[in-house]
Each structure stands twice: as structure tokens, then as C-alpha cells.
Structure 1
Amino acid sequence: MQKQVLDKVVAITGAGSGIGKAIAIELARYGAKVVVGSRTEAALIEVVEQIKQAGGEAVHVVTNVKNKEDLLRLVNTAVDTYGRLDVMVNNAGVAHISPIDELDLNEWEEMIDSNLKGVLYGMAAAIPIFKQQLSGHIINIISTSGLKIVPTQGVYAATKNAVRTLTEAFRQESDGTIRITGISPGYVKTNLVNTVKDEAKRQQVIQAMEQLGLPPVAVANAVIYAVSQPAHVEVGDIVIRPAKQN
């Protein structure tokens, strides 16, 4: 598997912490060259330093996925630094939990802008490069929240199911030159829960994460599996969750 990942150039959004950070570190450990993006530069610098201290290659670009220009800068940095882009990992996202009838439009808009439009902007930035290269791989990090609909997660799940739909649509539209994979994690121990404003709901999710949550490296391993397949093999959909998760 390491041979197939060696020297691949991978751009990753939301890479300052959690799943994105784990993806960056593990890919670099396997010999990939990673370009990490997130909104917090201090966190990105720490990730890059950790990778370099372990003998890997990485650069960072401050990236807010709500801004299409930031995504263009991320992928262009990959090409300018390493000569190409092999994989685009659209990982950044936010989660707000509340009943729909609370009508928190600001939270809805933030999730739509980050979870859906941010993925579209990432795809739009990478696809022209992949077309020019005649190769490329898009990885969209989705969620099991869209597979099992539960109260208080309606809008969050809706954004994730929208990404699931566009991922499958692109797969069908592609001639195989550009591969695409959707990965849906279940409970993972990350700081995504910090965006939940309601204290009681946040504590409930934290408790579930502590009891069930997978380490972020489990999702990173799923990414590595998908990108390490031969060029004629496309892994379309991966669901990865704790064995005890309902």
C-alpha cells in the first residue's frame, strides 16, 4: 500500500485538527506530499512541523472553504510546490444540532456554506487540474448522519446527503479519468462537537464520542485504502463507524 501512496500530492481541507489532521499525518507517513488547509494558521504550522519532524513533506495554506478563492490557492500551491495534484480531500465541515423548528437560520447557512458549498468549491478548484493531467481523485468526507436520520440533526444530515448525491452524480458523469470516493464516518473523537452551541446537546454528543468514538486515524486509513487502489479501480463509497454504533 505504501508504494501506491508514495509521492502522491494530496490537498486536504480542515487539516488543522481531527480527521483532516490524521489524514495528513498518515498520508505523509506513507510518503505522500501533503498540502494542508484550515482557517487556523497556528494549527496548520503544528501539523506541518509534526510531518517534517517525522521525515515527511508538507506545506500549509490558510483556507476557509466558504471562499472559493482560498480553495483555488490551496490547489495551486500544490501544483506550484510539487508540480501536480493527485488527490483532493474535502474534509472541512461544521455541525450544529437543533430541532428544525428552532429556525436557527444562521446555523443552517453556516452548514450549507461549509459542508456543501465548501465541497463544491473544492471540487471546482481541483477538477480543471485533474482534467489537464488526465488523472485525479476526489475524496469527500461525508457522515453516517445522512444514512440514519435522527432528530436535531436534520439540516446537518441534509448537507451531508447533498454531498453524497453530488459525489454519486460525479461518479456517473466521469469517464474514469477522475475517480471520486465518499467516506462516511460515524462517531469519531474530534473537536467537531465544539461547534454545537447548546450545552446540554454538546455534552450528550461528547459522552457518545467518549463511549463509542473511533480515533481519527481510522478514517485516515480508509482514505489511504481508497487512494492506494490501481488507477482502474474506484472505491465509490466507504462507511466507517464504531462496531457498537446503531
Structure 2
Amino acid sequence: MSLDKKVIIITGASSGIGAATAKLLIKQGANVVIGARREDRLSEIKALAPDQVEYQVTDVSKLDDVKGLVKLAMSKFGKINAIYNNAGIMPLAKLSEDHHDEWQQMLNINIMGVLNGISAVLPIMHDQGYGHILATDSVAGHKTDATTAVYSGTKYAVRAIMNGLRVEENQNHIRSTIISPGAVSTELYRSESDQASAEALQQMWQGENKALTSEDVASAVVYALDAPERVNINEILVRPLAES
């Protein structure tokens, strides 16, 4: 299948996996509608292919923001082939450290961000009779370690939501895919409030223990998007070789 002229919405697109996916899709000829909170980064991506890219500053925790991004896609391109709910944060800490504000932020962005994306596109995809909904999950959605309890909890929730979506929407020809990366070298570590933990995570994946690049994960996303319409890729679990 060709992605040429396909219309794909990406949240969390200002950096990391989202930005890398947008750039790769542009090269494949797709039209991308990107959202994130940093307008300067979004405008840089649009400058790469002004006719193929539209953007809007978007806070995925706000349903109206996500609906606005979807409305932009429809007004500019007239259809939506897929949405990639990619926005997320990863502050890590032990439960005993009692970071209530960070817990709430993770719930709002990691879980509600995905639900808002689903809610915003489903009516349109029902009318179209087709669509593809993807979400970034994590290896942390398969296991829980010390300091990852709440983050892992949000990612377990994303897996449950996406699996439920697949069962519900299969009859409506709406596909769903979970993208679950292991360690990736992205700015996600900057959402870590504990600086020592952030530095330790980054140092862990230096030298021979190389983390995935954002481009590695973007290629997995494009693989799922480019699958034949009869194929639903339920989940892609991708780890660095040193982690696997």
C-alpha cells in the first residue's frame, strides 16, 4: 500500500517519536496534521513540506483541543485515514514519594490524551467506513519496576483501552495498533522530575547499550500504517537489542 495522500494526525509531534514519524510520513507522500504544545517545533516541521503539513497547538488532556486538531484535518484535507495518539510524559518516582501532581498529569496526558483522540475521530471514521487508530504504549505497559508504578499503570491502561477499541471497532473497519517501545533516546526523559533518575536513565543507554532512536520507532509506526487494509497489526513491541 502507498501512504501517498493519506491523511494522518499525530499528537506529541513536536519532538521525539512524533516528530520522527511526521518527517518519515512526509517522505512517503502523506499529509500530516500535527499537534503539540510547542508551536516553534511544529512550525519547523511544516516548513519541511508546507503543502503536506498543517499544525495546531494542542494540549491532549483537553478534549476541545484534540477536536480542534481533528477539525483542522477535515477542513484542510477532507478525510482522516489515521490518528497516532503519541503524546505522553514519563515522570518516575516511588509511590512513597507522594508526587500527586505528577500522577494527575500522567493520568491526564497518557490516558485521557488517548481517550480524547479516540473520541474525536471515531464519529468521522464511522461516517467514512474506515480508519486506523494508533497509540504509543511502552514496554512499561507489560511490566512494572520500582519507580514505574504509576507510569506503568497508565501504559497498562492504554493497552486495555486499545484492545477494547480493536474488539469494538473491528466490524466498522477501523483498525487499531499499539506501539510499545523499550528504551528510546528522546526528550521524554526531561519529564522526569528527579534529575538524578533522569541522568541515570540516560547514562544506562550509552555506549554498547544503545537505546532505540526515534526514527527506529517511527519506522515501526509506518510499517503498521502501510499494512494492507485486510491486516490489523495489534501491537508492535520493539526494544533495543541490549534490552531484548
Normalising by structure 1, what TM-score? Answer: 0.95
**How far 1:68 sits from its partner (Å)?**
0.4
Find the counterpart in structure 2 of residue 166 from structure 1. 161
Question: Which deviations, in whole Å up to 9, do the C-alpha atoms of 1:142-173 show, x marking residues without a partner?
Answer: 00112121100110000001000011111111
What residue identity is the alignment partner of 2:56? V
1:181 corresponds to 2:177? yes
Query: Residues 17 and 43 of structure 1 are in contact (CA less than 8 Å); yes or no, is this contact kept in structure 2?
Result: yes
Query: Residues 56 and 69 of structure 2 are in contact (CA less than 8 Å); yes or no, is this contact kept in structure 1?
Result: yes
Aligned pair count reads 241
- Secondary structure of 1:4 counterpart: coil
Which ranges in structure 2 are unaligned for 5 or more consecutive residues? none
**How far 1:50 sits from its partner (Å)?**
2.4
Change (3 A) 1:209 1:123: farther
Query: Residues 133 and 175 of structure 2 are in contact (CA less than 8 Å); yes or no, is this contact kept in structure 1?
Result: yes
What residue identity is the alignment partner of 1:50? L
Change (3 A) 1:41 1:183: same
1:136 corresponds to 2:136? no
Q: How does 1:13-92 map to 2 (within 5 A)?
A: 13-52=11-50, 57-92=52-87
Question: Which deviations, in whole Å up to 9, do the C-alpha atoms of 1:16-60 show, x marking residues without a partner?
Answer: 0000000100011101000010001111001111244xxx61011
CA–CA distance in structure 1, aligned partners of residues 24 and 132 of structure 2: 17
CA–CA distance in structure 2, aligned partners of residues 148 and 170 of structure 1: 22
CA–CA distance in structure 2, aligned partners of residues 50 and 205 of structure 1: 32
Query: Residues 36 and 59 of structure 1 are in contact (CA less than 8 Å); yes or no, is this contact kept in structure 2?
Result: yes
CA–CA distance in structure 2, aligned partners of residues 79 and 161 of structure 1: 31
Which aligned runs of 4 or more in structure 1 are off by greater than 4 angstroms? none
Question: Which deviations, in whole Å up to 9, do the C-alpha atoms of 1:147-204 show, x marking residues without a partner?
Answer: 1211001100000010000111111112151100001011111000001111110111
C-alpha RMSD over aligned residues: 1.1
Give the alignment partner of residue 123 of structure 1, picking from 114, 118, 124: 118
**How far 1:208 sits from its partner (Å)?**
2.4
